[in-house]
Amino acid sequence: MSIIVPVFNEVDTVAELIDRVLTVELDGIEREIIVVNDGSTDETGEVLSRIDREHPDVVRVYHHEKNRGKGAAVRTGLEHASGDVVITQDADLEYDPQDYPRLLALFDNPQVQVVYGSRNLRKNPRSSWTFYWGGRMVSWVANLFYGSDLTDEATGYKLLRTELMRGLDLESEGFEFCPEVTGKLLRRGIEIYEVPITYRPRGLDEGKKIGWRDGLKAVLTLLRYRLRREDEGSVSG
């Protein structure tokens, strides 16, 4: 399994996050942690260099010279992934790596290609009604456009078989990475399975970076890939 961790200015949380990922019991599943420092301007880079030295067999760190966005960081990580399944992991401690075993269990079925961790299939705290309903709206739009029945399109836990993820030919630089993945998968008729996960949201005052503009971009991105002709780019097939 390849765990891709895009990081931008998370000096207060990234070390703890890596520790949590390292301590998850995976019953013999090999893991690699690919951290992409997306042009951080705080001391994140120094912390990651130390972690890289301490865990050279498991952790690999790559650096962007300037901030490019979550999508760009995930794409850089994907270039270096060697596991058969990729999971995206935010560095802000909102998502709990202890959910990995339940998410990965579905891949025992070779027919399963994609698993999303849903924050809405169990009771979880909410950072605000705006964020909650914004996320539900994006899921509703995805279901409207593509005929799906997702409960949490915007989840940070997206697990894909690695070759499938590479075959999507991802283009996004920022947070629109999430709806791009969803749109391209659904256009191909690939079923997305959902598993309940734990979620501990943080607020804007704690460093949360996503905002209402990103929700609007998500809707427009879903629309873009819904309307794109099948002979354009990676959505064919």
What tokens appear for 145 in the block? 């456009």
Tens of pLDDT, residues 62-95: 999 999 999 999 999 999 999 999 999 999 999 9
Q: Please give the C-alpha separations between residue 206 and each of 12, 134, 164, 203, in angstroms, as whole numbers.
A: 10, 19, 35, 5
Per-residue model confidence (pLDDT) at position 223: 83
Coil vs helix vs strand at 28 = coil
Containing 164, the helix (H) or strand (E) segment is helix 162-167
Calpha distance 228→191 (Å, rounded): 20
* Residue 124 reports pLDDT greater than 50: yes
Read off the pLDDT of residues 149-207 as tens digits, 9 standing for 90 and up. 999 999 999 999 999 999 999 999 988 999 999 999 999 999 999 999 999 986 555 55
pTM score of the predicted model: 0.88
Paired strand residues for 115:
159, 193
- Are 7 and 49 contacting, i.e. CB atoms less than 8 angstroms apart? no
| Helix, strand and coil percent figures for the chain, each rounded to 5 | 40, 15, 40
What is the H or E stretch that residue 4 is in? strand 2-7
Question: Of 111, 121, 118, 137, which is closest to residue 212 (Cα–Cα)?
Answer: 137
With beta carbons less than 8 A apart as the criterion, state whether 194 and 203 touch. no
Q: How far apart are CA 151 and CA 177, in angstroms?
A: 18
Q: Where are the domains of the chain?
A: 2-235
Residues 6+ apart with CB under 8 A from 55: 18, 22, 33
Q: Which residues contact 220 (CB under 8 A, 6 or more apart)?
A: none
* Topology annotation, domain 2-235: Spore Coat Polysaccharide Biosynthesis Protein SpsA; Chain A (3.90.550)
The arithmetic mean of pLDDT across residues 28-52, rounded, is 95
pLDDT band at residue 128 using 50, 70 and 90 as cut-offs = low
